[in-house]
Structure 1
């Protein structure tokens, strides 16, 4: 077998493993999926699975790294942006989720894995901090942490709602809704009066 054929075989095996894993999480939930289940669904033996991954968590980590690596370049420019530029960046994020909707829905949904949601939240915080670097001098490992965590919660909440409802709105409309909410704040978005402190 040539080196090229070997590379193609490895890529094909990894693809089969990932596909089997996502199908099984959809059916059984992450907690109940075993390596034996994945190997059986992918039509490989357990030894072959272990040649590629230490366990199902290593598989999820690799999938996470591959998918998340697409995000930074796809979110548009960082810094102070117009509303339209912000919407365009968020639309790219929802387009990304749409391309990988089965994976995100399986791992973020009710049958998914809290580890994946926590890792994604951490990554959202990291991305936000990276994008604010040079725009806000006070953003460091700790400064602004609460605001970044709240923003990550908004991001995950919007993505999860969109997936759980089978993506009922186009990516652009989701982006507009998120930017409107983030701009107006919770009370403003709900049309509630906001009184100044001490009023």
Structure 2
């Protein structure tokens, strides 16, 4: 758990530590970056690092919590909103990622932290589940799958979100947030074949 040392000095030290982590992940990967490496890069000693964080995972946990608190709340309210409004919500998400692109690229990329990716995926599923519950109310478990209806689909949606964000960052954000939002909503609404403009398989009788 991080030590919330108040004042400008504490904020400056945490900022230096975070920037050091991002640089090291970009250079050598999260797995190979040690507390000693982070402290050296941040121009502090190890004791100072441990004054704020128990280890590098506690540092990533703090980053995760801050990221979650800044994520747009309205990727889609808990009701049936229009496609246009959904696009606006997703555009806000990509705007958010774009503002913190270096952080996201470091932690979600090939050299990043699998724990961060897993936690972000879990959070996406939880947020979507809450909205689904608010729309559908209490739903009995699917007897055949032993899980609430839509649970697997929520995981698919979370992976779609993380995949789209990762692709966007790895390719240096080649499309504006609006176009990314439209692509995600189109895929979510029309499915794989529909989004590609291919014929959809006929439904079984």
Please state how far the C-alpha of 1:136 moved relative to its aligned partner. 1.5
Paired residues of 2:193 and 2:199 also in contact (CA < 8 A): yes
Distance 2:18 2:127 in 1: 25
Query: Structure 1 residue 152 and structure 2 residue 164: aligned?
Result: no
Aligned partner (choices 176, 190, 193) of residue 196 of structure 2: 190
* Residue equivalent to 2:170: 164
Q: Given the two structures, how large is their TM-score scaled by the length of structure 1?
A: 0.91
Query: Is the 2:25–2:107 contact (alpha carbons within 8 Å) kept by the matching residues of 1?
Result: yes
CA distance in structure 1 between the partners assigned to 2:166 and 2:194 by the alignment: 22
The corresponding residue for 1:54 is 54
Counterparts of 1:140 and 1:49 in 2: how far apart (Å)?
A: 48
Tell me the number of residue pairs that the alignment of Structure 1 and Structure 2 aligns: 195
CA deviations on 1:152-190 (whole Å, 9 max, x unpaired) are 011001000000000000001100011111111011112
CA distance in 1 between counterparts of 2:109 and 2:140 reads 31
Task: Sort the Cα spacing of 1:79 and 1:20 in 2 relative to 1 into closer, same or farther, 3 A.
Answer: same
Call closer, same or farther: CA 1:188–1:34 in 2, change over 3 Å: same
Shift of 1:42: 0.5
Find the aligned partners of 1:125 and 1:106 in 2 and give their Cα distance: 22
Aligned to 1:24: 24
Alpha carbons of structure 1 residues 77 and 173: separation in structure 2 relative to 1, 3 Å: same
Q: Corresponding residue for 1:178?
A: 184
- The structural deviation recorded for 1:101 is 0.6
- In structure 2, relative to structure 1, the CA distance for the partners of 1:74 and 1:188 (3 Å cut) is closer
CA contact (8 A) 1:39 1:49 kept: yes
| Counterpart in the other structure of 2:117 | 117
Separation (CA, whole Å) in 2 of partners of 1:71 and 1:50: 28
Q: Which residue of 2 aligns with 1:38?
A: 38
Contact 2:78/2:134, CA 8 A, preserved across alignment = no
* 1:71 CA displacement: 1.6
- Equivalence for 1:89: 89
Runs of 4+ in 1 over 6 A off after TM superposition: none
